[in-house]
Structure 1
Amino acid sequence: MTTQVTACTDPRSRSDGLGWVTRAVFGDERVALTVGGDPPAGHRPVARYAVVPSLARARFLLPLGAPRATAASLLAYNALRPPRVRAVRAALGGLSRVGALRRAFPTLTVSVPAGEEPAELLLAERLAVALGGAPLYAACGVRPPDPNHKPTLQLFAPDGRPRGYAKIGWNGATRALVTVECAALRALAEVGDVPDHPATPKLLAGLDWAGQVVAVVEPLPSRVRGVPVTDRPRIAALLAVARRGRAAAPPRPLAGSPFLGRLAAEAARAASADPSGARAVAAVAGLERRHGHTTVEFGHWHGDWVPWNLGLHGGRLVAWDWEHSGQAVPLGFDLAHDAFQRALVLQAEPAGTAAGAVDAQLDRYGDRLGLGPAQRRLVADGYLLEMWLRTWRLADGGAGWNAALHPSLLDIVEKRQTA
């Protein structure tokens, strides 16, 4: 018989980001979380975290007990972060090296019932077993509650060596994304050394845990640097991702393709679940009417090819976050996504302007992918419809609608089909 732990100091009862993260990471009700003070009677402490900068404004859970691991959780990969974030982390890293975090910030104590094995109750302990059994220290960022976000544990050895990153899929939408990434990384590990293909972190472990799906990915190279947001698209890398070392596939018509069949099936599922899905069904039919006879090469895509998912190490491109990857899509989807997300996210443009950026980028670089005018239009129209269906999949999985993309993307697709 299990005993449910309830305490006024338990942050899992909070409605903010700290509550959301602690519920995801410490979900077993037998685990006690206390801020300050002693663990409940009958429990023994197994881990402690500094809550930075405060309970009310928590941004980090930093592991205590191994100063080098604590410092590494703040300083590793700082070159990938914006200058202001980098400076804050550097200052906190200095405090952690001298063991001052416990005095400067609230301490969260994690304890388990006496006689219980921590690896049966705590994800970080279970991950230590999966990675060979050596002790691990886990750090976690704290973000506002968002059903589309995945808590991520940074895993370190006591001496500060990075051991991996663990993504936690905790609802329908995020479990699906983590499952896709696990499958993608397994497949990429079998591709071998393909010229111009970006380096990809290996999947160290994939597991189901207490209703969650967890992917443990190897650390990035310590000297990886971010790709400047002003960089031009790396066409050779996009082609390598699409073809995976194979020769170019012969172009085939959109009509009758597995891609169009998948869009139609997903639109039909959307129509059965949401009134706007009927518009998606019509949009798929319109895509076939407009482009059905256009031939295009189909291949793989990364699915979220944007500067913040790319880095450089030793002159080679590195790509991570493969959770939206897929196959049998028109060649050029990653090029379209790069333009769309740069406009939407980096420039805060509305979806209509971002769609125009897709057209402009395909017109500028599409010929290097073998895309003529008709193929470029197919890629743009197909990509925008793909993105609405992605938005629906996330909403259907519990993430809610992305207000920047719904219903505006359907409006844009419909206007383009009647232009």
Structure 2
Amino acid sequence: MFADKVSVRPGNGGIDEFLEKVLGEPVNLSLYIGPERAVQKPIVQVLSSRGQTIAFSKVAVNELTASLINNEIWSIDTVRNADLPHLSAPRIINCEKWNDRPVVVQAAVRPGKSEQRLSTLLPDATRELTSVAGLIKAEWNLSEYRRTLCARIANLEPSGLHDKLQSAIDEFDEVMIGRILTFGAWHGDWARWNMTTSASGDRIVAWDWEHFERGVPAGFDAVHFDISDAVVVEKLSPVDAIARLLRQSDNSLARTCVIESDFVAVVCSYLLEIATRYLEQDEVSKADSPMSRLGEWFAKAVDGAIAALRGKISDG
């Protein structure tokens, strides 16, 4: 499906026929395929005969993308059913299979109010998302999240990056002995290009929920947002973006949303999480973005973050 050419053939059980049946009207399709990545999958923009975007559809192409689509379906249901005051997700129109491939069809989200309105809603929406499945407190070294993360790291292919990741979590564990963190949910790719405001302007509507997860250190989304904004929008290097976030005392989503006593530890654990994800999904070899090039930034950034954590603890 991802050879040199991709064709969308009308009729004969094609995706167009499937979507016309689901939506109950003739459709035109626009197929988006982004840069080569392990999580790459066709994203189909569905247009009416009048040329209006009425839906988007994701189609699984392998076991990994099938699991991501299934997680996205469950995640959207979780968020929409929570009826949060400042956050929602696109309506799922259909989540059946096409040619034995999991497919999710989501209603198109109409762009809402200004960027300024999105920024105003963002802190409340981020907090609501973190607590959507409840919050718990646990000692880091005894937490279920740490146990799962260590197992994921142990299952990675041997490499220099794997060795650095293992030594980093060992050092982090040592620093975190007896220390308690708050755990909640995260979107997994909380970034301004994955959201807009609702037409009424009272909520953020976010999409791309395939990495949603519960039971992670509370604040992962806020940290991810700030680092992604700095790297993608401001063009800072990951090392500089992370160092600036650790230095900032205010004026960042993370400083607004993360418990102050947990802040540096949450940044450290986020770096361990994102490096693990990139390695286990082979993003390092298949993607070409600054954050996916772990060899250029991870060691320096995680060493600096753990050093900052040691300093914070020693200062009381």
Give the TM-score category using the shorter length. 0.7 to 0.9
- The 3-state SS of whatever aligns with 2:54 is strand
Q: Which residue of 1 aligns with 2:313?
A: none
* Cα distance in 2 between the residues matched to 1:385 and 1:237: 25
Distance 1:391 1:401, change over 3 A: farther
Runs ≥4 residues deviating over 6 A: none
Q: Which residue of 2 aligns with 1:118?
A: 12
2:126 aligned with 1:238: yes
Q: Which residue of 2 aligns with 1:338?
A: 225
Could you tell me which amino acid in structure 2 is paired with residue 378 of structure 1?
A
1:321 to 208, 225, 243: 208
2:109 aligned with 1:224: no
Give the TM-score normalised by the residue count of structure 2: 0.82
* Cα distance in 2 between the residues matched to 1:187 and 1:233: 20
Distance 1:228 1:322, change over 3 A: farther
Task: Please list every run of 5 or more consecutive structure 1 residues that lacks an aligned counterpart in the other structure.
Answer: 1-11, 27-109, 112-116
- The 3-state SS of whatever aligns with 1:311 is strand
- Which gives a bigger RCO, structure 1 or 2 (Cα 8 Å, sep 6+)? 2
Asked whether the equivalents of residues 173 and 399 of structure 1 are also in contact (C-alpha less than 8 Å), the reply is no
2:192 aligned with 1:307: yes
Q: Which residue of 2 aligns with 1:29?
A: none
Equivalent residues in 2 for 1:23-38, closer than 5 Å: 26=8
CA apart distance, 1:286: 1.9
CA apart distance, 1:326: 1.0
Equivalent residues in 2 for 1:268-417, closer than 5 Å: 268-270=154-156, 272-313=157-198, 314-316=200-202, 317-360=204-247, 364=251, 368-369=256-257, 371-373=259-261, 375-395=262-282, 399=286, 404=291, 405-407=293-295, 408-417=297-306
Distance 1:211 1:228, change over 3 A: farther
- The 3-state SS of whatever aligns with 1:251 is strand
CA apart distance, 1:339: 0.9
2:149 aligned with 1:263: yes
Distance 1:276 1:321, change over 3 A: same
Q: Which residue of 2 aligns with 1:82?
A: none
CA apart distance, 1:327: 0.9
* Cα distance in 2 between the residues matched to 1:164 and 1:396: 28
CA apart distance, 1:240: 0.6
* Superimposed CA distance per residue, residues 9-48 of structure 1 (whole angstroms, 9 cap, x where no aligned partner): xxx8973xxx2xx1xx64xxxxxxxxxxxxxxxxxxxxxx
Equivalent residues in 2 for 1:114-153, closer than 5 Å: 118-119=12-13, 122-129=14-21, 131=22, 133-141=24-32, 143=34, 145-153=36-44
* Superimposed CA distance per residue, residues 358-417 of structure 1 (whole angstroms, 9 cap, x where no aligned partner): 3245755656546124x1111110111111112112217984575643122144213433
Asked whether the equivalents of residues 173 and 393 of structure 1 are also in contact (C-alpha less than 8 Å), the reply is no
CA apart distance, 1:173: 4.8
2:91 to 196, 202, 221: 202
* Cα distance in 2 between the residues matched to 1:182 and 1:189: 11
Distance 1:411 1:267, change over 3 A: farther
Give the TM-score normalised by the residue count of structure 1: 0.63
Asked whether the equivalents of residues 173 and 398 of structure 1 are also in contact (C-alpha less than 8 Å), the reply is no
* Cα distance in 2 between the residues matched to 1:332 and 1:159: 43
Sequence identity, in percent? 20
* Cα distance in 2 between the residues matched to 1:167 and 1:264: 31
* Cα distance in 2 between the residues matched to 1:205 and 1:340: 34
Could you tell me which amino acid in structure 2 is paired with residue 302 of structure 1?
H
Tell me how many residue pairs correspond in the alignment.
303
Q: Which residue of 2 aligns with 1:156?
A: 47
Could you tell me which amino acid in structure 1 is paired with residue 169 of structure 2?
V
* Cα distance in 1 between the residues matched to 2:133 and 2:151: 30
